[in-house]
Each structure stands twice: as C-alpha cells, then as structure tokens.
Structure 1
C-alpha cells in the first residue's frame, strides 16, 4: 500500500469514529436528572448496654458463650503464638 492509501484509510477511520460517537450520544442519551436516591438517616453512635438493659433480656441469652472472650488452654502467657 502506498502512504497516500494509508492516510486515506486513517482519515476515514477517524471520521467514522467521530460520526458514530455523535450518533450514539444522540440515540442513547439518558434523561437528565431522572435519578431519585432516597436519603438515609444517620446511625446513632451510642449503642445500648444489652447486658444490663431489661429490654434485651427477652431475646438475648445471658447463659450463652461470649465469643469475644479470650480462651486460654493450658498454662501459656503467649498471646501472639505465631510470630
């Protein structure tokens, strides 16, 4: 191919890309301002004391195991065994 042919193909590709971009924006244009998002109220940073509040005794079991407590097996004082 001659350089003149390559330039013509390149120019045609650029013009085709611009025309297709303009047509796509005209056809698939989203409606302006159509999005309605509900507003959520803020979460209260103060949590209730569930161990001492009588409102929570009906659905929390006071005799259940507490998974947040440290479990010690044997006589080890090493709190980070894998370092």
Structure 2
C-alpha cells in the first residue's frame, strides 16, 4: 500500500477550514484515502470530523495512505494540501 509522511503546515492544524479542504480533496479521489497520526488508528481522510479527531496540529507529522488504482495520485493530491498553509 503506497503511503507518504507529511508535516501539517496550517497554523491551526487539521481543524476547521484546512480539514474541510483536505476532506473535500480526499473525497474526490477515485480511491479511499486514510490519514494516521503517531501510529494511531487510520481515519478516512474524506471526513472533516474524522480529520478533526486526529488532533493533528501545526508541525505534526501524519501518514497518508491509499490502496488501489490511482493510489499514488490520490496520496499526492491530499499530501499537497496537508503540506500547505491553508489558514488564509
């Protein structure tokens, strides 16, 4: 299963607006994308509520993974948003 480690760039972490943007991008992918923080249980990246329960703050590292046809592209699309400051 492809996966990628990314550092959360948004100052508020994966909360509110950044979580909504990441969830929207993840839900638009052709495969299910999941995000894990600190070796915890993976959560579906397409859900704002799931992303907020991670409590991933600014500077935290998360692991993004997906499986199936198009997994690499899906991971890259979500990882790009997580690694971008989306607070503005």
Higher fraction of strand: 2
Q: Which of 1 and 2 has greater Rg?
A: 1
TM-score (norm 2): 0.19
TM-score (norm 1): 0.20
- If asked which structure has higher relative contact order (CA below 8 Å, sep 6+), I would say 2
